Amino acid sequence: MGLLKVASEIAPAKALNDIDRMMDIARNEADMGPALELGLIAIARAIGLPPRGASALWAVGQSVGWVAHVMEQRLVGTQLRSRMNGGMA
């Protein structure tokens, strides 16, 4: 289940109206779908986090990923390189 679906099920009425309108415009005019960040914003609103709460959710998720990466490197015994530019070195 996606973040937007979860958010829509738990959000108070009208909390996500502007996100819904923006998604309709993006789909109809640019043929674009939502990205992770939009889902995090929706979840943050749905659970009543303060402004910039989605950034905190993103940071926690990144931190968990980095810790898992380091743990995997230790198990393998060698440095693993991310395929992404600007990834952890």
pLDDT tens digits for range 8-63: 999 998 889 999 999 999 999 999 988 999 999 999 999 999 999 999 999 999 99
Q: How far is CA 34 from CA 21, 25, 50, 84, in A?
A: 12, 11, 22, 21
Residue 20: strand, helix, or coil: helix
Predicted pLDDT at 30: 92
Q: How far apart are CA 54 and CA 37, in angstroms?
A: 8
Sole residue written with tokens 């600007």: 86
Which pLDDT tens digit goes with each residue over 51-69? 999 999 999 999 999 999 9
Question: In the chain, what are the domain boundaries?
Answer: 3-76
